[in-house]
């Protein structure tokens, strides 16, 4: 199973070490955990601590390490720290709206049905896309 950035065990461990996490200190995990195992881990009465700060973990994943699969539990701020932004997702409002506009056009072309979409902004008020 891929690590935090879709990498193999070696690069995943390097990334964890870069953030001060000793991969050997992580709890072992099943090679292919079930949805229930993930759910149970993040909904337990006593949540596993964040590997970076020790606060209650809000998310978990299984990562490859030299010792085998391990749980990586993180609080929300550290989920964002260890998650690299996608290179395909726009990071500005203009980019998001341009992608939405293209998707609407593609759907209308494919189906022949006009999709009425209302966009609202504080600056321009209501207008149709």
Which segments in the chain show pLDDT lower than 50?
1-7, 129
Write down the residue that tokens 């993040």 correspond to: 42
Q: What is the pTM of this model?
A: 0.56
Which residues, 6 or more positions from 28, have their beta carbon under 8 angstroms from its beta carbon?
67, 68, 69, 70, 71
Task: Give the model's pLDDT for residue 122.
Answer: 65
Nearest of 48, 38, 35, 37 to residue 78 by alpha carbon: 48
What is the distance between the alpha carbons of residues 94 and 89, in angstroms, rounded to a whole number? Answer: 12
- With contact defined as beta carbons under 8 Å apart, do 91 and 28 qualify? no
Task: Give the model's pLDDT for residue 90.
Answer: 77
Instruction: Tell me the backbone φ, ψ of residue 80, rounded to 5 degrees.
Output: -65, -35
């Amino acid at each position: 199973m891929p690590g935090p950035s879709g990498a193999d065990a070696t690069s995943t461990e390097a990334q964890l070490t870069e953030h001060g996490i000793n991969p050997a200190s992580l709890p072992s995990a099943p090679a292919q955990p079930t949805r229930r195992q993930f759910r149970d881990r993040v909904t337990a009465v006593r949540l596993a601590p964040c590997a970076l700060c020790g606060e209650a973990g809000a998310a978990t994943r299984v990562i490859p390490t030299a010792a085998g699969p391990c749980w990586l539990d993180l609080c929300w701020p550290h989920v964002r720290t260890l998650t690299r932004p996608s290179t395909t997702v726009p990071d500005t409002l203009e980019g998001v709206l341009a992608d939405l506009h293209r998707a609407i056009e593609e759907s209308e072309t494919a189906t022949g049905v006009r999709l009425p979409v209302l966009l609202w902004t504080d600056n321009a008020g209501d207008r149709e896309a």
